A and B are shown apart, each in its own frame.
Chain A
Amino acid sequence: MSPVHFIAIPLFAAFLIPLVGKVSKNLVKLIPGIVFLYLSYVAITLFPIGIHKPIVEIIAGFKAPFGISLYYGPLAAFLTTMITLIGFVIWLYSYKFIIREPIEKYYMLFMMLITGSTGIVLTGDVFNLFVFLEITAIAAYSLTAFLRDKDGAEAAFKYLLIGSFSSTFVLLAIVLLYANVHTLNMADIATKISSVPLTTRIFILILFLMGLGIESEMFPLNGWAPDAYSQAPSPVGAVFGGIVVKASIYALMRLIYLMFEFQSVMHFLVIMGVITMLIAEMSAMRQQQIKRMLAFSSIGQMGLVIIAFGVGTEPSVRAALFQMFNHALIKSLLFFAAGYLVFHSGSKKISALDGLGHDKPITSFFFAFGALAIIGLPPFSGFWSKLYVLLSVANSGLFAAVALILFSSVVEAIYYLRVVSRLYFNTEVATDVRRTPVSGLVAMGILTLVILFVGFYPNLVLHWMTPAANELLNKAAYIKAGLFH
């Protein structure tokens, strides 16, 4: 068993789908499910191995730094497992939700998006990282415009413009890196980066920050996110929040921790994270549309993750990873529930949700559950991750950041509870005879169970995240494993 399956199998499926589509459309819908079942088998087999000792998979038989190698360490193990889980749930949800033609193109794009984001997480080569970033990005642009309506095309074009800028910056950074160190393997670059002049190094870092900051929704480069999230079909919103953003923030953090571990960068990250979080939460407060609100909330949560990464101690990185994991699960659940709430109310507006809690109790329950979890109320998983982030930030003496995090949590609580109260406490308005499909409910149910489980046993997950956090912080071990396997 080898980690390359994570990339090869979804790709194989994407190439296979048009062939199968000639035979039967229903079969097409099943293929991603089969892929995800297989991938979870791979994940279960590899996880216990990778968590203890990184697996370095050489592609095409050429040793690093000459060939491209995949690095399946604890961090990659954790992220690929997360992507597989969320991908599976998204497929389940899409099963009845995506009814617009061309269905097989939707699943092809979806499979390639999974390929791209697992590729970002696994690869140990910067140019390969760029290729996978592009795969993810182009799939994301196309999926944003999938509904082919006015706003979708606009959002996608905006996303594409900003995304192209981002990829230009990343490519420039890679070229400048290569010109200075003459290698593309990340571990090899890390050993040689100290010979590069400081100004060049800082410039490369800025290019990477701008390029990957766009994809990971860092302020002020996140203008694409609210539009893309709200105009794409709901499962795609979950894909963005749960998979794409997580993969790109991983890439950014991996590069920063590996190559540019300056103290000032870390402070900069904390400041950027705080600004991102505050502005996003304040904007979320003002939104009239539910999906835009979720998008801004997602940006805010990423701000929190960036703060925790910026603090850069072992507990804080672990908390950041835990927060990423929780946010991926909960935000997917929220997008799923919001998708059907919008569908039933027939409007994207929050005001149209009045009294839907009585008409559609199960979907509304899931939404309320997700809202309470993301605010961070005690029995849910969101509480633990926020608590650990707060503790780790406080331990580093950044009390101003702690205060601002607490403040934005209050803001977050206000706007989420506003929606929940509209669902339940407003008078019943209209009823919709259409019912939420079982596959959608099952998808939300699975997420709810996982969130509950993590909420009751947070230490179980944290236990696995300790090696992942150590991997990110321990540069020497990464280089050793990546180069001399």
Chain B
Amino acid sequence: MRKVIAILLLAVVGYYILGTLLNLPFGQKATGVGKYYLDSTIKETGTVNTVTSIVVSYRGFDTLGEVTVLFLAATGLGAILFDKKGKKRSLQNASLIVKTSSKMIYPLTVLLGAYVFVHGHLTPGGGFQGGAIIATGTLLMFMAYRSFETNHTALTIIESLAGLTFVSIGISGLIWGYSFLQNILPLGTPNELLSGGIIPLIYIAVGFKVGAELTTVLDTLLKTIKG
């Protein structure tokens, strides 16, 4: 009964979504704001990756919100799963091969993550992707070594400082007499590492923050006692 109702409901929803979509032209040229961004990204932000320039510069406020959402998830998870007792992860020790290879891969993963977020304005990728890669590397270590511990104080401090840096970069724009999150640095030559004004700075802060947050999330989840 429940299934039938659900299917009927979904059929109606699907019909209308599809009907609306079929009215849309597919594969047409970018118009509106999209076209504007493509035309002026290099001139206005000095960034060759248009997606990055939108994410960090034109719609930088969204990214601040996005960072907040992740921070919120880490905080909420900590609040919901808060438990004074559970301190150890309940994973078995891995085999020697896994251990050794994890040890070798881990620094490389961190390096890759750092590369991705430092080059966010030049190549695909950026703070979120880089941070996620770093967290994945840390997870590998969690799985390989039962005793591998992250330094919680350090993680908290990284998380906080990176967040504060982001907001402070924003406020510094205000202090300089421009607007919130406005670029106050020279744009540099496009396609070079030191270009794009505050974009690399923001992405580095985001990278650190996301890496630390996701690691905290994984650590909190792993340390919860089995129910």
Contact = CB atoms under 8 A, between A and B. Distances in A.
A62 interface: yes
- Which size class do B's interface residues fall under? 35 or more
B205 to A, nearest CB: 11
A404 interface: no
Interface stretch (B60-68, B95-103, B121-129, B135-143): B60-68
Given A181-B32, A199-B19, A145 B72 contact: no
Interface string B154-182: 00110111011001101101100011111
Nearest to B64: A11
A61 B172 CA distance: 13
B208 interface: no
B79 to A, nearest CB: 4
Interface string B195-217: 00000000000000000000000
B199 to A, nearest CB: 11
B112 to A, nearest CB: 27
Contact of B62 (A18, A61, A68): A68
Interface centre among B68, B69, B171 (most CB of A within 10 A): B68
Given A14-B71, A16-B164, A142 B79 contact: yes
B92 interface: no
Nearest to B162: A15
B59 interface: yes
B80 A128 contact: no
A172 B17 contact: yes
Interface stretch (A26-34, A100-108, A331-339): A100-108
A11 B44 contact: no
Contacts of B180: 2, 4, 8, 57, 59-60
B82 A115 contact: no
A128 B54 CA distance: 13
Contact of B66 (A19, A115, A131, A203): A131
A78 interface: no
- Which size class do A's interface residues fall under? 35 or more
Contact of A127 (B59, B73, B77): B59
The DSSP consensus for interface residues of chain A is helix
Given A2-B174, A148-B80, A109 B75 contact: yes
B79 A106 contact: yes
Contact of A128 (B32, B61, B77, B78): B61
A327 B55 CA distance: 38
B46 to A, nearest CB: 14
B20 interface: yes
A11 B68 contact: yes
A101 B85 CA distance: 13
B32 A183 contact: yes
Given A102-B79, A128-B62, A131-B69, A61 B32 contact: no
Interface string A175-203: 01001111110000000000001011001
Nearest to A109: B75
B24 interface: yes
A299 B183 CA distance: 45
Interface centre among B20, B31, B156, B173 (most CB of A within 10 A): B20
B71 A138 contact: no
Contact of A176 (B20, B62, B178): B20
A197 B163 CA distance: 43
Nearest to B180: A4
Contacts of A145: 79-80
B65 A131 contact: yes
Given A61-B183, A142-B79, A18 B160 contact: yes
A138 B76 contact: yes
A12 B160 CA distance: 9
A106 B174 CA distance: 29
Contacts of A62: 44, 57-58
B19 A67 contact: no
A106 to B, nearest CB: 7
B33 interface: yes
Contacts of A179: 24
Contacts of B37: 66
B65 A135 contact: yes
Interface in A101-134: 101-102, 105-106, 108-109, 112, 115-116, 119, 123, 127-128, 131-132, 134
Interface centre among A4, A101, A148 (most CB of B within 10 A): A4
A228 interface: no
A128 B58 CA distance: 12
Nearest to A210: B13
B171 A8 contact: yes
A180 B23 CA distance: 10
B61 A68 contact: yes
Given A67-B59, A135-B69, A138-B72, A8 B182 contact: no
Contact of B78 (A19, A102, A182): A102
A58 interface: yes
Contact of B82 (A12, A101, A184, A197): A101
A19 B160 contact: yes
Contact of A22 (B23, B57, B153, B178): B153
A183 B33 contact: yes
Given A61-B178, A203-B16, 6 more contacts: A8-B170, A12-B168, A18-B159, A131-B69, A135-B65, A179-B24
23 contacts: A4-B180, A14-B163, A19-B156, A22-B157, A57-B180, A59-B180, A60-B173, A60-B182, A62-B57, A66-B36, A68-B60, A68-B61, A68-B62, A105-B78, A127-B59, A127-B62, A131-B69, A135-B72, A138-B69, A145-B80, A176-B20, A197-B23, A199-B23
